[in-house]
Amino acid sequence: MITDQNSINWKKIFCFKNIILNLVGVALITLALKGFMIPNKFLDGGIIGISILVHEITKWPFGVLVLMFNIPFLVIGNRMLGKTFALQSLLTFLLIAFSMTFLDVDPVTSDPLLIALFGGCLIGVGMGLCIRSGSTADGVEILALLTTKKIGLNVSEVIFALNTLLFLAAAWSFGISTALYSIVTYFSAVKSLDYISHGLEQYTSLHIISSKSDLIKSLIVQKFGKGITIIKGERGYLPDKFDVKLDCDIIVTVVTRLELLRIKEEIRKLDPKAFMFIQYIKEASGGILRSMN
């Protein structure tokens, strides 16, 4: 059933799984912030990082700041992603503001490396769980999507530029050492968020061009139980033999990152000269995506 973005999907909002994911995500974010980052003046990227910076400078309550800075993005999110997303994100922002204001968490450690790694991982996992629940814990991604349409940069470039300014401000306020550790915290959070939101089984498109394409087709389908697609092409066109060309089958299969290495190793055994390239894809559905072995 197709749902209108102008209506609210209450079933999704009150889904037990989404509620648990959101609560656990907010709990991990709170632990990361109060147990590791804020007591030691470490920053994350995005709106949470801005809130920490302003909190340390002005001493305004962090919970109020993170809610105040994120609220404007709900208007953008409502227009771009629908009312259900905006309402779920509002609930997430309110939970973060509440937990940061009323829950007491003692600092876990003062070791800067442990803070950067564990604080970053915890906040990344927490944000990933919130994304899995259908919301967001930071409005900067919405801002990046809007800015992309206006100036033509991609989302990652916009987020990188915004966070660069943030970490420069951190260096000015807290010193270069804390700013550098904050960058480590940010990248720990990004990688953790990536694994949680996309999963260890993120799908990869593998393209193979080989003179032994029939053997490779059989290997992928029969041994690994994967589906394949064949694109008719030509190979050759070498610099010293540009006029020499042969018809070939370009084999395309979608595998997980956990399967990729094994499949590539088996292909190399059949044809050490096989040409392969991979493309990372965000989502795949239908067909034969999982091995039936």
pLDDT tens-digit map of 7-59: 788 888 889 999 999 999 999 999 999 999 999 888 888 888 889 889 988 98
Residue 202, token pair as written in the block: 């993120």
CATH annotation of 203-280: 3.30.70.120
Lowest mean pLDDT, pick from 107-121, 147-161, 229-243: 147-161
Report whether 287 contacts 203 (CB < 8 A).
Answer: no
Least confident window among 79-88, 110-119, 150-159: 150-159
Domain residue ranges of the chain, discontinuous segments joined by +: 10-198, 203-280
What amino acid is encoded at 213 in this protein? S
CA-to-CA distance for 11 and 284, rounded, in angstroms? 25
3-state secondary structure (DSSP) of residue 74: helix
Ramachandran angles phi, psi of 87, nearest 5°? -70, -40
Scanning 59-175, the segments in alpha helix (DSSP H) are 62-81, 83-102, 112-114, 120-132, 140-151, 155-174
Q: Would you state the pLDDT for residue 25?
A: 94
C-alpha–C-alpha distance, residues 249 and 212, integer Å: 10
Residue reference for tokens 């109020």? 64
Residue 115 near residue 24, CB atoms below 8 Å? no
Question: How many Å apart are CA 89 and CA 87, to the nearest integer?
Answer: 5
The pTM of this model reads 0.70
Q: Output phi, psi for 134, to 5 deg.
A: 105, 10
